[in-house]
Amino acid sequence: MGYKNVCTNCRISLSEGTNYELFNTNKTCPICKGKMYFVNEKFKAPKKSNDKEWKIIEYLLLSGYDFRNPIYGAEKYMYFEFPKNLQEAKAFVREMRKL
């Protein structure tokens, strides 16, 4: 378990550990002072040079997805699979909003 804060601007993710007391969901980026997104441990930062994946991540984060596995139904879980393109990301967000 562990949580992260992500800055899509600088393409960094900072590990926040597992201590809930220390979680800060409104953190600003230490580099650009921009807003950071608080995400689940499922999040894995791609290489800084990976424009495509960062664009998808930015889209997902802006859509309110925090890389948790959202629950659907009583016992089924929707497991996160990284969308391969923006189209898949959009479909993913549509599915997520139905949950």
**CA 73 vs CA 14, 64, 66, 70: distances in Å:** 32, 20, 19, 10
Q: Which of 9, 68, 80, 96 binds Zn ion (CB under 5 A)?
A: 9
Cα–Cα distance, 96 to 99 (Å, whole number):
5
Residue from 31, 62, 86, 91 touching Zn ion (CB under 5 A): that is 31
Give the residue, chosen from 23, 25, 28, 32, that forms a contact with Zn ion under the rule CB under 5 A: 32
The helix/strand count (H/E) of the chain reads as 2, 5
> Closest CB to Zn ion among 7 and 56?
7
Question: Among 83, 7, 55, 53, which residue's Cα sits nearest to residue 94?
Answer: 83
Only one of the segments 8-16, 40-48, 72-80, 90-98 lies at the binding site for Zn ion (rule: CB under 5 A); that segment is 8-16
Among 29, 78, 93, 96, binds Zn ion (CB under 5 A): 29
Q: Which residues make up the interface to Zn ion (CB under 5 A)?
A: 7, 9-10, 29, 31-32, 34
